Amino acid sequence: NAGVTQTPKFRVLKTGQSMTLLCAQDMNHEYMYWYRQDPGMGLRLIHYSVGEGTTAKGEVPDGYNVSRLKKQNFLLGLESAAPSQTSVYFCASRRRGPQETQYFGPGTRLLVL
């Protein structure tokens, strides 16, 4: 099992450009999450999904959109990138149930110029 994978690992964008980050998991997990990590702020939840076809806003959703068309994939989109979106993005997944462990991907480093 590959676990949670993220594509790409690193990307540089210009302000106003768009891009999509892909998260894939092969553990048949129902729940998937997108976080951003900034120095001194820990991880903040952007959006999450509790199942195929469903998404919900997290703590810092503005400027991002997500889609969960397939159970194993969770896409994070930036329609018009801003320098404030320079960050490291982590995807995570877990099974349904409050006592299930959350597994993290290796991260995507995004730089917006």
Partner 1 sequence: AQSVTQPDIHITVSEGASLELRCNYSYGATPYLFWYVQSPGQGLQLLLKYFSGDTLVQGIKGFEAEFKRSQSSFNLRKPSVHWSDAAEYFCAVLKNDMRFGAGTRLTVKP
Q: How far is the CB of 12 from partner 1 (least distance, A)?
A: 17
Of residues 13, 11, 56, the one with CA closest to residue 34: 56
- Phi/psi at 56 (5° precision): -150, 155
Nearer to partner 1, 11 or 44 (CB): 44
Contact stretch for partner 1 (CB under 8 A) within 17-25, 61-69, 71-79, 90-98: 90-98
d(CA 71, CA 43): 23
Are residues 31 and 94 in contact, defined by beta-carbon separation less than 8 angstroms? yes
Decide: is 26 part of the binding site for partner 1 (CB under 8 A): no
Q: Interface residues with partner 1 (CB under 8 A)?
A: 4, 33, 35, 40-45, 48, 58-59, 90, 92, 98-99, 101-102, 104-107
